[in-house]
Amino acid sequence: MRRTEIKQILHSDKADFEVKVNGWVRTFRNNQFIALNDGSTLSTLQVVVDREQLDESTLKRITTGACISATGKVVESQGRGQKYEVVADSLVILGDSDAESYPLQPKKHSLEFLREIAHLRFRTNTFGAVFRIRHHVAYAIHKFFNDRGFFYMHSPIITGSDAEGAGEMFRVTALDLNDLPKSEDGAVDYSKDFFNKETNLTVSGQLEAELAALALSKVYTFGPTFRAENSNTSRHLAEFWMIEPEVAFNDLDDNMDLAEDMLKYVINFVLEQSDEDLTFLENRLLEEEKNKPQNLRSPMALKEKLQFCVSNEFQRLTYTEAINILRNSKPNKKGKFQFPIEGYGADLQSEHERYLVEKHFKKPVILTDYPKEIKAFYMRMNEDEKTVRAMDILFPGIGEIVGGSQREERLDKLTKRMDEMDIPQHEMDWFLDTRRYGTCIHSGFGLGFERLVLFVTGMTNIRDVIPFPRYPGNAEF
């Protein structure tokens, strides 16, 4: 007999059929009622065993965490809380779990503790819900782009270029670190390394995506990216996934429309697809915030927040307009910002971004036209020669979720900017070729996948929305 998934049983429109179910025991009550979970859905299935029929030794092995297989009949449940249950007529222990030493006891564990046992946290309701939703978010992103005629492009993970011009990178080498080849001046001789040059893990697939966009018109990447910055925050990972669409003939307005449409599409998809998991996470958040003072609680419940986000236009304004709002804001005047806003040119800190989104506009915000000094070399220069056609999308509770721009497609302007920023042109000749041969207006952006999953699940730490987080001091599993 083939196994039936618990989701299928619970969603069935009739009872009275034979099934085989496999899964992990959550709890076992009165030597009779097993709460069984197989991950197909949040809910557990109640499996009722006949303690007269089962031998004592098998009964003892039905412990929290054990993997079992049961066959029996699906019947309408007499108990509260579930429509159907399975009355087992046979039960096999597939994998024992020692009740004493099993780290996941049937009680509430803190997220910090669960992070330490990330290999087992998939088995909790919270992480089951988070990782099912993570899947749906990824699927929705691919579907969104596919339905609009985009091509999924695989950008390299090992690269010799530093896309952002200033990123801190993880080096990739096959050299023996205890016996490094040196050139005459004492520097490490990377020409002896695997690729005959210095290489690193990519910080972004953008530059390669640009090459593809200037031929296939509409492409996107969806891959892992790596940053060796020492950011120990609830919004940063050293290894995270990024989605980077790049579109020929799009200007910045088209780029903003694309990003806003995509975010709304994905959030809507999850609202439709993951109601059970979202409801669970919504209640989890309400419970967690109960002990917080009112002003630190989320202003909306999770699903209401998501709904709000899909049904309202994002607020679009320039960096300069934002600086004026921030300069005249109460927290700035009262000295409440850790980084006071004095004038034009400052890079926005997360406290500023969150003020704009959560206090001032109370909805997602797209900031455009940043000063060139605080943005990357490839962004298109505005007429004023001071600002570039950048855009950042800021989300409530998250801050920056998307960063992008219209690209500088004019060879002379691009090389001038590279010189000003000390970016060696000869190393980027391949990139400049697109501007030499058939250049055109084009735009793109990068969406931080985990930041979006963080937003959608209502979790508070980015380390809890990726299976095995990498951050300073941690590369477990």
In sequence order, what are the beta bridge partners of 388? 370, 381
CB contact set of 451 (below 8 Å; sequence gap of 6+)? 235, 395, 398, 400, 401, 462
319 binds, among ligand 4AD, Mg ion, none (CB under 5 to 8 A by kind): none
Shortest CB 226 distance to ligand 4AD, Å:
9
For residue 236, state whether it binds ligand 4AD (rule: CB under 6 A): yes
Residue placing its CB nearer to ligand 4AD in the complex, 123 or 442: 442
State how far the Cα of 104 lies from the Cα of 82, in Å rounded to an integer.
Answer: 24
Are the CB atoms for 267 and 456 separated by under 8 Å? yes
State how far the Cα of 146 lies from the Cα of 167, in Å rounded to an integer.
Answer: 30
Strands of the 199-201 sheet, one edge to the other: 158-159, 199-201, 171-172
* H-state helical runs in 301-358: 302-311, 319-327, 330-333, 350-354
For residue 396, state whether it binds ligand 4AD (rule: CB under 6 A): no
Per-residue binding string, Mg ion, 392-431, x by CB under 5 A, is: -----------x----------------------------
Structure tokens belonging to residue 52: 């007269």
Shortest CB 335 distance to ligand 4AD, Å:
29
Per-residue binding string, ligand 4AD, 326-365, x by CB under 6 A, is: ----------------------------------------
Binders of Mg ion among residues 102 to 161 (CB under 5 A) are none
Are the CB atoms for 75 and 45 separated by under 8 Å? no
* H-state helical runs in 77-194: 111-116, 125-147
128 binds, among Mg ion, ligand 4AD, none (CB under 5 to 8 A by kind): none
For residue 244, state whether it binds ligand 4AD (rule: CB under 6 A): yes
For residue 23, state whether it binds ligand 4AD (rule: CB under 6 A): no
269 binds, among Mg ion, ligand 4AD, none (CB under 5 to 8 A by kind): none
Distance set, CA 9 to CA 14, 15, 269, 436 (Å): 9, 9, 24, 61
Q: In this chain, which of 134, 354, 451, 463 binds ligand 4AD, going by CB under 6 A?
A: 451
> What residues line the site for Mg ion (CB under 5 A)?
403
Q: Which residues bind ligand 4AD (CB under 6 A)?
A: 163-164, 204, 206, 227, 231, 236-237, 240, 242, 244, 400-404, 444-446, 448, 450-451
